[in-house]
C-alpha cells in the first residue's frame, strides 16, 4: 500500500516537473503565448466541418482539398504538419464541443474552418479566447468580419456583397418587382435572405415575405403552397444545395410553376442539377469563378487520383478548402522559429502574419490578399443559370 | 412495482380534474379563434391552397402510416421500439435506387409503358427483399441475444443499430445525395391537373401512386394479421409469449416473421419515398422514421389500425396545422408534436390504443 502511494507521488512529481520546466530555453514574448514542439511532434492544423450526417458531402469534399494542401506543403523546418479533421455533423452544439477540444490541444496552431456559418458563429469566441487563428473556406455571413475578431479570416466572399448584387440583378436585369425570400434557419441562409430583402426594398422592390424553413426538411410541398398563396414572381433562397434541389422539384406541385428560383453560393454545384433534374432548368445561383490555371488542373488531377471522385462532384468548395489550409501553412512557415531542437510558433504572431498574406498563389485566386478584418477572398462573384442541364453564366451582368 | 402502479392513477386523477378541462377549453378556444381569423377575417388562403396542402399531407401521411406499421408490429410483440426501422427504410430506398439505375443503364426504363411498369415493380420487389433481410438480420444480431435483458437494453441496442446502419450506408454509398431515376411516365412533375377556385392544382402521379400503394399495403397487412394463421400466431405471441410457446407456437419464428413483415413495409416505403420525394441519401430514413414512430404513438402503439390512422392524421395535421393556425411553416413539427402531446394528455394510450394488460405494462 505504502509503496503504491509513493509511486503515485513520484508520478505526480514527474508530471509537474515535466510540465513546468523544459520550456525555459526560448523566451516567449508573444502576447498569446507560443506553441512549442519537440523533435518528432507534429504541428497540427485542424479542419472542422460536417463529416457525417446530412451535410457530409460538404465536409468530405473540403477536407480533401485541405489534405491536398498539406500534401503539397508537408512540413515546416523538419516538423511534419498534421491535418486533424473534426466532425461537427453540421450542428452548432457539436461545433462548440469540437472547438473546445481543439483549443485544449497545445499542438493545434490554426484551424481551417469552420464550414457553415451557424457552426462558425459559436466557435469564434472559443478560438478568440485561446488565440488560435481560423481561415474559413466557405462561411460568408457578412457580420463575421465586421465584429472586430482578431482570429477569424476567410477565403470566401462576404454576403454583404452577395445580397447587394443579387438584389440589383433581380431588380435591374430580370426586371422583377415582387419576391419572397426563403431561408433554412441557419445563420448563413437567414443572413442572406434578410440581406437580400433589405437591399431589394431599398431598390424599390416589394418583398412579400421572408419565410423560414427547416434545414434538412424531408418535404417542402406544404411550405411552398403557403408561399404560392402570395403569388410572388421570384423566390430567393438562402441555404444549401440539397434542400434547394428538393424545393425546386416540388415547386410545380405546389402551384409555383413559372416562378423563378434564385439560389446562392450554397446552392451552386453539379450536385444540385443532378438532384433537381429538369426542375433545375432556369434556376439561378452564385458562383465564385475559379480562374483556369495550371495549378488548378494539377489539383483536379491530384484530387481524382487520391479519392477516385472527380473534383466538383461532392461540392464546388474543395479548392477553397485547399486555399484555406495553404494560406495557413504558408503563414506558419513564415513565423515558425527554430530554437535548438525545438520549433516555436508564436500564436499572436501567426494570427497577424495570416492577415499580412499578400498575392499568395492559390486556386480560387492567383493573388490571395488579406485585409485587416480577415477578408482574404476575392470580392467578386458571378450569377449562374441552369441551361440544358449545365450551369452557365447568367446574361446581363 | 405494484404499489407504484396503484398510487399513480389516484394522483393523476386529482390533478387531471382541474387541469384537463382547463387545457381543453383553452386549446379549443385558441384553435377556433385562429381558424376564424384565417378562414374568414384575413382569408389568407384560397381553396386551391387548402387543397394543395391537404394533398401533400395525405401523401406524406400514407408513407408515415406504412412505416409506422413496422414500429407497431414489433412493439406489439416485443414491447420495444425498433429505432433502426427508419434505416431499414433507407436501405430499401437504396435497393430501389440501384435497381432503377441498372434498368436505366440497360435502356429499359423508358422503352415503353410495360417496361416502365416492370422496372418500378422490380424496384419495389428488390427493396422489399432487402428490407426483409435487413430486418431479420437486425433482429438476430441486435435484439435476439438481449431478449431476456431489461427493456432498456434492446432500446439502446436499437439506437446503436440505427447509427451503425447510417454510417455503414455512408461508407457504402458515399456522402453524396442521389436522385431517383423515375421512368418518364411518372416523372415528378407529371400528373393530373384539376381546376379549383379558378387555379390549377396538380396531383402528381408519384403522389397518387404513393398514396394508393400505402392504402393497399395497409389493407394487406390487416388481412394478414386478422385472417391468416401467421397473423393468429403473431397475435397469440403478442398476448403472452410463454403461453403461446406452450400451445406449440414457435415464438422465435413468429418474432422473425414480424420483423420480416416490418422490413418489407419499410422497404416499400423507401421506394415510395424515392419515387415521390426524389432525393435519397444515407440519412433519408431518419425523419420519416421519427415521424412514423410519433404516428404509431399517436394512433396507439401496438395497434395496427391505430398506426394507419396515426400516420394519416399526423401527415395531414403537420401540413394543414400551420396553415390553419396561421403560423410559420417552419413550425410544422411543433404543431404536429403539440397535437401529439394534447392527444396523449386526453388519451394516454393514443387514438385507438387499448388499455394494456398488466403484463405489457
b/e per residue A328-356 (b: at least 16 CB within 10 A): bbbbbeebbeebeebbbbbbbbbbbbbbe
Dihedral pair phi/psi, residue A250, rounded to 5°: -105, 5
Spell out which residues of chain A touch residue B187, defining contact as CB-CB under 8 Å: 278
Q: What is the pLDDT of residue A194?
A: 95
Angle, in degrees to the nearest 10, between helices A294-307 and A318-335: 110
Q: What is the pLDDT of residue B5?
A: 44
Q: Among candidates B85, B103, B56, B83, which has minimal Cα distance to B157? A: B83
Instruction: Render pLDDT for B177-205 as a digit per residue (tens, 0 to 9).
Output: 899 998 988 888 888 998 888 888 999 99
User: Are the beta carbons of A99 and A105 closer than 8 angstroms?
Assistant: no
Instruction: Render pLDDT for A32-66 as a digit per residue (tens, 0 to 9).
Output: 999 999 999 999 999 999 998 778 889 999 999 99
User: Are the beta carbons of B88 and B131 closer than 8 angstroms?
Assistant: yes
Spell out which residues of chain B touch residue A57, defining contact as CB-CB under 8 Å: 174-177
Q: Among candidates A229, A228, A290, A288, which has minimal Cα distance to A258? A: A228
User: What is the DSSP-derived secondary structure letter of residue A53?
Assistant: S
User: Are the beta carbons of A169 and A205 closer than 8 angstroms?
Assistant: no
Mean pLDDT of A252-259: 90
Please give, rounded to a whole number of angstroms, the shortest distance from the CA of B105 to a CA of chain A.
16
Task: Provide the CATH number for the domain formed by B21-346 in this structure.
Answer: 1.10.3470
ipTM of the predicted structure? 0.85
pLDDT tier at A27, thresholds 50, 70, 90: confident
Task: Report how far residue A269's alpha carbon sits from residue A381's, in angstroms, rounded to the nearest whole number.
Answer: 14
Residue B93 has pLDDT above 80, yes or no: yes
Dihedral pair phi/psi, residue A233, rounded to 5°: -90, -25
Contact A274 B179 (CB under 8 A): yes
Instruction: Render pLDDT for A271-318 as a digit per residue (tens, 0 to 9).
Output: 899 899 889 999 999 988 888 999 999 999 999 999 999 998 888 899
Task: Check if B43 contacts A (Cβ < 8 Å).
Answer: no
Spell out which residues of chain A touch residue B287, defining contact as CB-CB under 8 Å: 216-218
Task: Check if B214 contacts A (Cβ < 8 Å).
Answer: no
Q: What is the pLDDT of residue B361?
A: 43
Mean pLDDT of A1-26: 56
Residue A322 has pLDDT above 90, yes or no: yes
Q: What is the pLDDT of residue A13?
A: 57
Residue B129 has pLDDT above 60, yes or no: yes
Dihedral pair phi/psi, residue A111, rounded to 5°: -125, 120
User: What is the DSSP-derived secondary structure letter of residue A27?
Assistant: -
Domain ranges (residues) in chain B: 21-346
Number of H helices, E strands in chain A: 12, 14
Q: Is A180 helix (H, G, I), strand (E, B) or coil?
A: strand
Mean pLDDT of B66-74: 93
Spell out which residues of chain B touch residue A217, defining contact as CB-CB under 8 Å: 287
User: Are the beta carbons of B158 and B166 closer than 8 angstroms?
Assistant: no
Candidates A57, A222, A245; nearest CB to B175: A57
Does an H or E element contain A210, and which?
strand A206-212
pTM: predicted TM-score of the whole model, two decimal places? 0.83
CB pairs under 8 A between A and B: 123
Mean pLDDT, chain A, rounded, equals 90
Residue B358 has pLDDT above 70, yes or no: no
Least confident span in A191-200, A230-239, B344-353: B344-353
Mean pLDDT of A116-143: 93
Q: What is the pLDDT of residue B13?
A: 53
Instruction: Render pLDDT for A171-222 as a digit per residue (tens, 0 to 9).
Output: 999 999 999 999 998 889 999 999 999 999 999 999 999 999 988 888 999 9
Residue A232 has pLDDT above 50, yes or no: yes
User: Are the beta carbons of A234 and A262 closer than 8 angstroms?
Assistant: yes
C-alpha atoms less than 13 angstroms from C-alpha of B270 in its C-beta half-sphere: 39
Amino acid at each position: 500500500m505504502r509503496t503504491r502511494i509513493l509511486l503515485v507521488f513520484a508520478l505526480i512529481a514527474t508530471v509537474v516537473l515535466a510540465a513546468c520546466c523544459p520550456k525555459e530555453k526560448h523566451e516567449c514574448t508573444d502576447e498569446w503565448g507560443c506553441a512549442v514542439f519537440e523533435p518528432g511532434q507534429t504541428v497540427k492544423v485542424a479542419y472542422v466541418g460536417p463529416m457525417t450526417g446530412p451535410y457530409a458531402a460538404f465536409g468530405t469534399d473540403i477536407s480533401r482539398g485541405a489534405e491536398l494542401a498539406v500534401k503539397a506543403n508537408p512540413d515546416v523546418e523538419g516538423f511534419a504538419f498534421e491535418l486533424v479533421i473534426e466532425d461537427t455533423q453540421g450542428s452548432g452544439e457539436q461545433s462548440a464541443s469540437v472547438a473546445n477540444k481543439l483549443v485544449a490541444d497545445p499542438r493545434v496552431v490554426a484551424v481551417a474552418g469552420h464550414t457553415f456559418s451557424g457552426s462558425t458563429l459559436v466557435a469564434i469566441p472559443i478560438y478568440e479566447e485561446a488565440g488560435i487563428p481560423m481561415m474559413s473556406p466557405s462561411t460568408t455571413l457578412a457580420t463575421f468580419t465586421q465584429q472586430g475578431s482578431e482570429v477569424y479570416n476567410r477565403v470566401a466572399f462576404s454576403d454583404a456583397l452577395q445580397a447587394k448584387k443579387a438584389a440589383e440583378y433581380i431588380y435591374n436585369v430580370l426586371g422583377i418587382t415582387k419576391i419572397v425570400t426563403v431561408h433554412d434557419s441557419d445563420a448563413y441562409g437567414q443572413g442572406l435572405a434578410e440581406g437580400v430583402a433589405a437591399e431589394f426594398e431599398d431598390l424599390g422592390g416589394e418583398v412579400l415575405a421572408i419565410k423560414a424553413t427547416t434545414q434538412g426538411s424531408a418535404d417542402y410541398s406544404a411550405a411552398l403552397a403557403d408561399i404560392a398563396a402570395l403569388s410572388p414572381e421570384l423566390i430567393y433562397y438562402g441555404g444549401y444545395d440539397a434542400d434547394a434541389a428538393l424545393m425546386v422539384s416540388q415547386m410545380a406541385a405546389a402551384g409555383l410553376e413559372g416562378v423563378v428560383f434564385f439560389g446562392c453560393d450554397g446552392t451552386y454545384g453539379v450536385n444540385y442539377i443532378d438532384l433537381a433534374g429538369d426542375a433545375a432548368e432556369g434556376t439561378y445561383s452564385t458562383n465564385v469563378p475559379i480562374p483556369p490555371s495550371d495549378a488548378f488542373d494539377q489539383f483536379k488531377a491530384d484530387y481524382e487520383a487520391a479519392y477516385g471522385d472527380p473534383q466538383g462532384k461532392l461540392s464546388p468548395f474543395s479548392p477553397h478548402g485547399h486555399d484555406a489550409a495553404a494560406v495557413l501553412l504558408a503563414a506558419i512557415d513564415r513565423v515558425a522559429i527554430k530554437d535548438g531542437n525545438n520549433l516555436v510558433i508564436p500564436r499572436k504572431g501567426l494570427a497577424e502574419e495570416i492577415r499580412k498574406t499578400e498575392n499568395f498563389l492559390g486556386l480560387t485566386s492567383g493573388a490571395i490578399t488579406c485585409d485587416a478584418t480577415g477578408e482574404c477572398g476575392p470580392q467578386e462573384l458571378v450569377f449562374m443559370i441552369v441551361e440544358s442541364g449545365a450551369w452557365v453564366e447568367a446574361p446581363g451582368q | 412495482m405494484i404499489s407504484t402502479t396503484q398510487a399513480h392513477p389516484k394522483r393523476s386523477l386529482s390533478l387531471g380534474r382541474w387541469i384537463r378541462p382547463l387545457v381543453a377549453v383553452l386549446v379549443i378556444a385558441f384553435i377556433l379563434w385562429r381558424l376564424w381569423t384565417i378562414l374568414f377575417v384575413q382569408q389568407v388562403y384560397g381553396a386551391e391552397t387548402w387543397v394543395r396542402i391537404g394533398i401533400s399531407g395525405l401523401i406524406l401521411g400514407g408513407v408515415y402510416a406504412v412505416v409506422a406499421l413496422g414500429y407497431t408490429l414489433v412493439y406489439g410483440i416485443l414491447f420495444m421500439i425498433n429505432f433502426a426501422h427508419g434505416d431499414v427504410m433507407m436501405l430499401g430506398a437504396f435497393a430501389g435506387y440501384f435497381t432503377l439505375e441498372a434498368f436505366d443503364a440497360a435502356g429499359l426504363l423508358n422503352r415503353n409503358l410495360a417496361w416502365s411498369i416492370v422496372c418500378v415493380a422490380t424496384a419495389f420487389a428488390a427493396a422489399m427483399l432487402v428490407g426483409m433481410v435487413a430486418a431479420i438480420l437486425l433482429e438476430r444480431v441486435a435484439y435476439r441475444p438481449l431478449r431476456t435483458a431489461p427493456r432498456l437494453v434492446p432500446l439502446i441496442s436499437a439506437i446503436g443499430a440505427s447509427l451503425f446502419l447510417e454510417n455503414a450506408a455512408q461508407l457504402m454509398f458515399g456522402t453524396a445525395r442521389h436522385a431517383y431515376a423515375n421512368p418518364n411516365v411518372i416523372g415528378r412533375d407529371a400528373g393530373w391537373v384539376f381546376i379549383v377556385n379558378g387555379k390549377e392544382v396538380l396531383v402528381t402521379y408519384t403522389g397518387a401512386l404513393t398514396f394508393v400503394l400505402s392504402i393497399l399495403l395497409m389493407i394487406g397487412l390487416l388481412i394478414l394479421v386478422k385472417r391468416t394463421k401467421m397473423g393468429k400466431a403473431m397475435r397469440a405471441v403478442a398476448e403472452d409469449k410463454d403461453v403461446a410457446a406452450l400451445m406449440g407456437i414457435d415464438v422465435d419464428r413468429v418474432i422473425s416473421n414480424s420483423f420480416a413483415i416490418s422490413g418489407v413495409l419499410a422497404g416499400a416505403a423507401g421506394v415510395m419515398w424515392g419515387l415521390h420525394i426524389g432525393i435519397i441519401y444515407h440519412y433519408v430514413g431518419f425523419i420519416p422514421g421519427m415521424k412514423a414512430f410519433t404516428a404509431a404513438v399517436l394512433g396507439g402503439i401496438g395497434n395496427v389500425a391505430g398506426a394507419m390512422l396515426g400516420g394519416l392524421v399526423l401527415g395531414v395535421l403537420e401540413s394543414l396545422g400551420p396553415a390553419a393556425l396561421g403560423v410559420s411553416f417552419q413550425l410544422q413539427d411543433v404543431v404536429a408534436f403539440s397535437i401529439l402531446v394534447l392527444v396523449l394528455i386526453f388519451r394516454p394510450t393514443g387514438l385507438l390504443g387499448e388499455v394494456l394488460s398488466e403484463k405489457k405494462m
